Amino acid sequence: MKKIHYLTGLTITIFIGLHLFNHLMSIFGADAHLSFMQQIRPFYRNAIAETMLILAVLLQITTGIFLFAAKRNLKLNFYKKMQLYTGLYLAFFFVIHIGAVMSGRFLLNLDTNLYFGIAGLNTFPLNLFFMPYYSLAILAFFGHLAAIHSYKMKKNIFGLSVPQQSNLILTIGGAVTFGILYGLTNGFIGFEIPKEYHIHILIGK
């Protein structure tokens, strides 16, 4: 079960890394984000890649819940505890996020692009939920990586000890979270959401 969890995690991490980089492109404007998305979509939005990705997420959640149940009562160090609880939040996020994207595509017939993702993030009072919801997901992702790194890595790199390396991953995660929120809210000013995505906002309300 641990091996399945680890291998599916590697698959998902590749996609998430690409996905987060795409969101960081929003710092340079909506057009930069949409342009980059159109370039990378053929690699992951096809029947084979999408099926593999969804299967990996389902296996990751299932094995993760079993591993969480087996370890939650054990005496664990800081990073081991962080691995458990960030994994739990990511499982929750994956279920909600994938469900929302699939509903948008197949029920609302929307292009689940930048505007689909940021409709709630740029609308008051929905942003009071979506800002912490997205922020915690990004921080949980980097926290999970930092926790795994803390016991997988066995040597110093560039003079940094393993705990310092894990702390650096957390710091990068914080910077990426701020950068993405800054970009997806147009510098915290807010994007104008196209009318076709207003239904998404109304459902959220």
Q: What digits encode the pLDDT tens for the residues 93-133?
A: 999 999 999 999 999 999 999 999 999 999 999 999 999 99
CB 193 within 8 A of CB 114: no
CATH code of residue 98: 1.20.1300.10
Separation of first and last alpha carbons in the chain? 40
Give me the number of domains the chain comprises.
1
Instruction: Give the C-alpha separation, 127 to 44, whole Å.
Output: 28
The amino acid at 200: H
pLDDT of residue 11: 94
Helix (H, G, I), strand (E, B) or coil at 203: helix
Chain segment 36-48, per-residue pLDDT in tens? 999 999 999 999 9
Mean pLDDT score across all residues of the chain: 93
**Which pTM was predicted?**
0.93
- Distances in whole angstroms, Cα of residue 160 to Cα of each of 112, 154, 157, 167, 169: 41, 12, 5, 10, 12
Chain segment 11-24, per-residue pLDDT in tens? 999 999 999 999 99
Instruction: Give the C-alpha separation, 41 to 20, whole Å.
Output: 14
- Distances in whole angstroms, Cα of residue 145 to Cα of each of 1, 17, 20, 97, 127: 18, 11, 14, 20, 27
- 200 pLDDT more than 70: no
Give me the domain span that covers residue 93: 2-204
DSSP secondary structure letter of residue 27: G
Query: Which of the four pLDDT bands, split at 50, 70 and 90, describes residue 66?
Result: very high
- 154 pLDDT more than 60: yes
Instruction: Give the C-alpha separation, 29 to 45, whole Å.
Output: 23
Instruction: Give the C-alpha separation, 50 to 140, whole Å.
Output: 23
- Distances in whole angstroms, Cα of residue 156 to Cα of each of 77, 146, 152: 20, 15, 12
And the tokens for 124? 């008051």
The amino acid at 119: A
